[in-house]
Amino acid sequence: MPVTLPETLPAFDILSREGVMVMSPGRAATQDIRPLRIGLLNLMPKKIQTENQFARLIGATPLQIDFQLIRMTDHETKNTAAEHMEAFYRPFAEVEASGEKFDGLIITGAPIEHLDFAQVTYWDEMQRVFDWTQTHVHSTFGVCWGGMAMIYHFHGVRKHLLNAKAFGCFRHQNRVPASPFLRGFSDDFVIPVSRWTEMRQDEIDAAPGLVTLLGSDEVGPCLIEDAGHRALYIFNHFEYDTGTLKEEYDRDVAAGKPINVPINYYPSDDPARPPLNRWRSHAHLLYGNWINEIYQTTPFRIEEIGLDPVAGR
């Protein structure tokens, strides 16, 4: 089944060419089913790239997805055309005022790791978003900075600056194989990592209600379940395309910034050779499992989201 996207959104043609099932809103309206309503609060500079990455993953399930793009209200992006933002994104303040509800919400990372949370210009609104999810979103997925920020907001767990950037493809372990979010997962696999901060396992363990599902001996906890807030937090980047780490590496090299060759990414760690994607299947498993769990537990009447914390179908 398809993900519903505007026909003029770049992702519509890109994903169609890749074989992902996409459908226009007009076509979706003729089907006698309720699609899952999934929002993407996109904090990344390259909005279109990020839209494609997440739409690709959530559009690979047998369910119809109504994909909605959201931005922070007063923050203006410098890397995406204003026309694109005006055509496809709604400010959070508008979404909040409408009272509408979502089956799922993805909150992306943001290139502001070096800042304390309170120093982020949109932090006050970000905290409103987190609180709003508890009454208007059935399940929230915080990614990288978005996940760290949610854990800090709800549990007071802090992020810590690293001495060097964690950059490359690192081995991770499946810590809770029985979790419904990890159906089909191998015991050991790689995930792309690109961050200057970390959250520490002992501090997560000390926070009631948090369970680490995926972790790495090299780069620490990765995927955290917060059942009490109906949320998942992931600090690494299953959604990355094959070339995303290469783009980041080439950018920093061109700018003269100190950066190591991404670990375990290029064959023989040789940046002259094309990188290999060794995480794609697990990326589809994780986001497919998340969508399936939403489908199994979200109220059939979307307006009932938030009325009962354990609402089921």
**pLDDT score at 62:** 81
Give pLDDT tens digits for 87-146: 999 999 999 999 999 999 999 999 999 999 999 999 999 999 999 999 999 999 999 999
**pLDDT score at 30:** 60
What token pair was written down for 113? 């790791």
Pick the catalytic residue: 138, 153, 229, 237?
237
Pick the catalytic residue: 138, 144, 222, 225?
144
Instruction: Identify the helix (H) or strand (E) that includes residue 51.
Output: helix 47-58
For the question of residue 237 being annotated catalytic, the response is yes
Give pLDDT tens digits for 244-265: 999 999 999 999 988 999 999 9
pLDDT at 275 over 80: yes
What token pair was written down for 308? 């009962």
For the question of residue 113 being annotated catalytic, the response is no
Rounded to two decimals, the pTM is 0.88
Pick the catalytic residue: 229, 239, 282, 293?
239
- Coil, strand or helix at 17: helix
Domains of the chain: 3-161+197-240+280-304 (3.40.50.880)
Read off the pLDDT of each residue in 218-241 and give the average, rounded to a whole number. Answer: 97
Residue 98 Cα distances to 11, 90, 92, 102, 136, angstroms? 26, 11, 10, 12, 11
Residue 139 Cα distances to 102, 187, 206, 266, angstroms? 8, 25, 23, 35
**pLDDT score at 12:** 85
pLDDT at 312 over 50: no
